Amino acid sequence: MNTTRKLTLAVFLASSLFSALASAQMISGPTVQAAGEGLIKPDANPLNPANRYLLVVPRDQRPPIAREALVNVLVDIDASGKVKSVNVRNGFHDSAVDRLVEKAVKGMSFAPATQGGNPVAFQNLSLQVLLRQANPPGVSDAMRGDLVKLAETMQKQDYRGAERSIDTLLDRNAKRLFEMALLNDQKASVLMSVDRNPEALLLSRFATSSSPAVKPRAGAPAGAPAPAAADAPAAEVTFPDSFLSPELYVDALRKRIALSLVNNQTGEALQVYEMLKEAASAAGKAEVAETLAPQMQQINDLLASDQQVGSAIHLIGGEWSFTMSPRRTFEVSGLSDKGRLDGIDIACGSNPVRRMPVPEGAWKIPDSWGQCDLIFRGKDGSTFNLFEYLN
């Protein structure tokens, strides 16, 4: 019987399971619509290719906002490029940030979405809004005792209690992006322990987020954000782009690779491995990446073979992001009862993001589009199988 390989956490990236699926084969599916024919999402100058908007707090903001934030929003835009509505969904934020985010996004101007070259209205554009301050990686004094208690709870393997504690800390106590990333990384470990691996991978993505670091202004007045380690000499204070400190970032990337593989997200595993090599080298921990090199080669060999690779996709919050491997031909099947798939957003580097319905049968992403992420959207909780074929 032909099989598809499912990489798992067993022996931490070193082994694999085999499950019976459809026959492995080379399939040349129809190519998805060319850019000028499909629905191309709105664009705005303040956004980077990841659809992230960097929020700036007005100097006259009252009361001032002293926290950091990472907020996911959905935006409806009319055919003229004007924002019609803003829906704050989830993330790391509070009500004061929500109000600032809504005001900022409503003030944005977009080049409208197009279909067949004509401007059209667009619903549910997904944006991420980031507010970052000049904080080095570290926790506030108020959080230290909470984290000690959390560590004790995890050591007791009280995973339900640990999850509750983390959720409370994220909702009430955490104010820094470092704290958000650290708590999401710890919650990913908790969910791994109880086999909630898709949710754990989603949290691991948050934990390994980054953005250009914000450093204190020269001659910043007293009261500007201070280093988390108050006794650290000023010369030792660093402001990395990652939300976590360099050493913790390396560990979190390694965990994300493991979770990518247990979820059969081979493209994401390969992409994150490249991030790990760079981060580990910079942190003086190059051996961490070197130990995974044989497993990464096994993945490349698998993807170059004629074996079919299948992933069980679970929509969380109504979506799931899938990073392409070198394979470019896909097929969706086995949608769960009462599940619903509304469409796919295809994000390829700095190119316009394309939205399309889910094709029937096998379909191929054009080579000219380069490396892409496939963002599946539909009913929250829907599950289906995504098969990757040799090009």
pTM listed for this prediction:
0.84
In the block, tokens 């506030």 appear at 140
Give how far Cα 358 sits from Cα of 16, 161, 333, Å: 30, 40, 10
Range with the lowest mean pLDDT among 19-33, 185-199, 212-226, 333-347? 19-33
Give the rounded percent of residues in the chain with a pLDDT score beyond 90.
Answer: 57
In this model, does residue 2 exceed pLDDT 80?
no
364-387 pLDDT, tens digit each: 999 999 999 999 999 999 999 999
275-287 pLDDT, tens digit each: 999 999 999 999 9
What value does the mean pLDDT of the chain take?
83
235-270 pLDDT, tens digit each: 456 789 999 999 999 999 999 999 999 999 999 999
Give the rounded percent of residues in the chain with a pLDDT score beyond 70.
Answer: 82
Range with the lowest mean pLDDT among 206-210, 242-246, 355-359? 355-359
In this model, does residue 5 exceed pLDDT 70?
no
Q: What is the pLDDT of residue 238?
A: 76
In the block, tokens 């704290």 appear at 179
Token code pair at residue 206: 């948050």
HEC readout, the chain: CCEEEEECCCCCCCCEEEEECCCCCECCCCECCCCCCCEECCECCCECCCCEEECCCCCCCCCCCCCCEEEEEEEEECCCCEEEEEEEEEEECCHHHHHHHHHHHHCCECECEEECCEEECEEEEEEEEEECCCCCCCCCHHHHHHHHHHHHHHHCCCHHHHHHHHHHHHHHHCCCHHHHHHHHHHHHHHHHHCCCHHHHHHHHHHHCCECCCCCCCCCCCCCCCCCCCCCCCHHHCCCCCECCCHHHHHHHHHHHHHHHHHCCCHHHHHHHHHHHHHHHHHCCCHHHHHCCHHHHHHHHHHHHCCCCEEEEEECECCEEEEECCCCCEEEEECCCCCCCEEEEEEECCCCCCEEECCCCCCEECCHHHCCCEEEEEECCCCEEEEEEEEC
Q: What is the pLDDT of residue 51?
A: 66
In this model, does residue 16 exceed pLDDT 60?
no
Across 100-118, average pLDDT: 88
Q: Residue 316 in contact with residue 202, Cβ under 8 Å? A: yes
Token code pair at residue 292: 């995974």
Q: DSSP secondary-structure letter at 170?
A: I
Which domains are seen in the chain, by residue range? 42-131 (3.30.2420.10), 141-214+238-303 (1.25.40.10), 306-389 (2.60.120.1300)
45-66 pLDDT, tens digit each: 655 545 678 887 777 776 778 8
Across 61-81, average pLDDT: 87
